[in-house]
C-alpha cells in the first residue's frame, strides 16, 4: 500500500509563468526560446535550465516536454516547482509527464487550444510521505527512460543505415562505369512537358480528378493524401495534354535551397482516379526506348550523380527554381539497354527491401515512443 496523500497541484506546487518576448526585439544567439512547443528562435539570456514545460497557449497533443540545458521560456508555457519540500523536482516532472493526456484535455478553444489554468491548478497529484520513496521511483524511471533512449538511438541509426546503404549502392552504379559506357543528354532521350497553371478558383470539393502539385512530391514519393485539390472531371478532357498516366515520370521544378532531395523524381502509380499535372512540375517522356530504359532513367534522376549536376543549375536564394530548358542539356551515362534493365531490376529489389526495413524501424520508433 502506497503511503502518501493526493492533493491539488496548487497545494503541492508553485506555478511559474514564462516571460513574453518577441523575435524582432529580443532575438539573438545563445539560448533557445521555448513556449508551448518546440524552440522558435534564440536569445542572449535564459530563465530556465533542465525543466519540464507545460504548454499554456497553442496546445498540441504533446503539451508537456522536458528541455535539457539552459533556455528561455516565453509566456506560451509554464513550469511547476515543489512547495515546501513536499516532492523532489524529478519526481514531480515524471508525474506531470504521466498526466500529459489529462492536461491536454484541459485545453479550451477550437482554432487554438489554451490551457484552463485554474482547472490545471486543481489537478490531483500523489505525494508520497517518504522522499526516499520518491527517489527510488525516480531511479527506476531514469533507468527505464535511459534504456528507451538507447533503443531509440539504435533504431534511428539502423534506419539511417538502411537508407544510406541504398544511396551508396545507387551512387556506385552511376559513378563506377565500366567499358562501353557512353553519355547522351536528356534532351536526346526524352521530350519534356511542363505542367499547367490551373486556376484555383475552378477547384471543387471532391471529384475523380485530382491535381498533382509540388506539395504532393516529397522524398521521391508521391503523397496524394497531402492537402488534396480536386477539379471538375470535365477538366480531364479539356486538359488532356496534362493528364498523367500510370508509369509516367515527373519531377518538381521548385524546392527549398539546401534540401538535397528537392528534385523529387517519382513514377505515377495506378491510383484509381485521374491526375492532372500542375505548373512547376515536369514530365519526362522517353522517346528513345531503344537507347534508355525508363526504370533506369528514374533511378538515375534520383542518384547523387545526377543531383550533383542538377543543383548548380537552380536559380533563386530561398526557393531553388529549376528549368526544363537547362535540364535537357544535362548528361546521362548509358550502358547497353540489356544491362540497364538488369541494373534497374536490381535497384528496384534493393529499394523495396530498404523500404521494408525503413517501415520496420519507423514502427519500432513509434512503439518506443508509445512505451514511454
Task: Write out the chain's pLDDT in tens, 372 residues.
Answer: 457 889 999 999 999 999 999 998 999 999 999 998 889 999 999 999 999 999 999 999 999 999 999 999 999 999 999 998 999 999 999 999 999 999 999 999 888 899 999 999 999 999 998 999 999 999 999 999 899 999 999 999 998 998 888 889 888 999 888 889 999 999 999 999 999 999 999 999 999 999 999 889 877 889 999 999 999 999 999 999 999 999 999 999 886 444 544 457 999 999 889 999 999 999 999 999 999 999 999 999 999 899 889 888 888 655 678 899 999 999 999 999 999 999 999 999 999 999 999 999 999 988 888 887
Q: Coil, strand or helix: which one is 181? A: coil
Polymer length in residues for the chain: 372
Q: What is the gyration radius of the CA atoms in the chain, in angstroms? A: 27
Which residues have a Cβ under 8 Å from the Cβ of 111 and sit 6 or more positions away? none
Which residues have a Cβ under 8 Å from the Cβ of 91 and sit 6 or more positions away? 134, 135, 137, 138
Q: What is the DSSP string of 285-299?
A: EE--TTT--HHHHHH
- Can you tell me the distance from the alpha carbon of 77 to that of 21, in angstroms, rounded to the nearest whole number? 12
pTM value is 0.70
> Where would I find the H helices in the chain?
9-12, 23-26, 89-98, 100-104, 117-120, 131-175, 186-189, 235-238, 294-302, 304-310, 324-327, 337-371
Q: Give 244's strand partners.
A: 275
Amino acid at each position: 500500500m502506497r503511503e502518501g496523500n493526493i492533493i491539488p497541484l496548487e497545494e503541492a506546487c508553485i506555478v511559474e509563468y514564462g516571460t513574453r518576448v518577441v523575435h524582432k526585439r529580443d532575438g539573438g544567439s545563445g539560448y533557445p526560446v521555448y513556449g508551448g512547443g518546440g524552440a522558435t528562435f534564440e536569445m542572449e539570456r535564459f530563465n530556465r535550465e533542465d525543466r519540464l514545460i507545460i504548454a499554456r497557449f497553442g496546445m498540441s497533443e504533446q503539451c508537456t516536454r522536458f528541455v535539457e540545458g539552459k533556455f528561455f521560456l516565453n509566456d506560451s508555457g509554464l513550469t511547476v516547482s515543489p512547495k515546501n519540500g513536499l516532492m523532489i523536482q524529478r519526481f514531480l516532472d515524471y508525474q506531470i509527464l504521466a498526466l500529459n493526456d489529462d492536461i491536454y484535455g484541459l485545453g479550451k478553444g477550437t482554432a487554438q487550444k489554451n490551457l484552463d489554468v485554474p482547472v490545471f491548478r486543481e489537478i490531483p497529484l500523489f505525494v508520497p510521505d517518504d522522499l526516499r520513496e520518491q527517489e527510488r521511483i525516480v531511479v527506476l524511471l531514469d533507468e527505464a527512460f535511459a534504456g528507451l533512449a538507447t533503443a531509440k538511438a539504435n533504431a534511428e541509426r539502423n534506419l539511417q543505415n538502411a537508407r544510406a546503404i541504398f544511396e551508396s549502392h545507387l551512387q556506385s552504379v552511376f559513378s563506377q562505369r565500366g567499358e562501353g559506357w557512353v553519355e547522351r543528354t536528356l534532351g536526346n532521350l526524352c521530350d519534356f512537358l511542363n505542367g499547367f497553371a490551373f486556376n484555383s478558383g475552378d477547384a471543387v470539393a471532391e471529384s475523380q480528378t485530382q491535381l498533382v502539385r509540388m506539395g504532393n512530391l516529397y522524398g521521391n514519393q508521391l503523397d496524394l493524401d497531402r492537402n488534396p485539390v480536386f477539379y471538375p472531371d470535365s477538366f480531364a478532357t479539356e486538359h488532356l495534354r496534362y493528364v498523367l498516366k500510370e508509369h509516367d515520370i515527373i519531377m518538381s521544378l521548385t524546392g527549398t535551397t539546401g534540401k538535397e532531395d528537392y528534385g523529387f523524381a517519382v513514377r505515377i502509380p495506378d491510383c484509381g482516379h485521374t491526375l492532372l499535372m500542375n505548373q512547376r512540375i515536369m514530365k519526362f517522356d522517353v522517346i528513345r526506348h531503344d537507347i534508355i530504359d525508363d526504370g533506369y532513367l528514374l533511378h538515375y534522376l534520383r542518384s547523387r550523380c545526377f543531383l550533383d549536376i542538377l543543383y548548380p543549375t537552380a536559380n533563386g536564394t530561398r526557393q531553388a527554381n529549376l528549368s526544363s530548358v537547362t535540364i535537357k542539356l544535362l548528361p546521362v551515362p548509358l550502358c547497353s539497354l540489356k544491362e540497364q534493365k538488369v541494373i534497374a531490376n536490381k535497384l528496384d529489389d534493393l529499394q523495396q527491401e530498404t523500404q521494408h526495413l525503413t517501415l520496420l524501424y519507423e514502427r519500432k520508433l513509434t512503439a518506443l515512443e508509445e512505451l514511454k
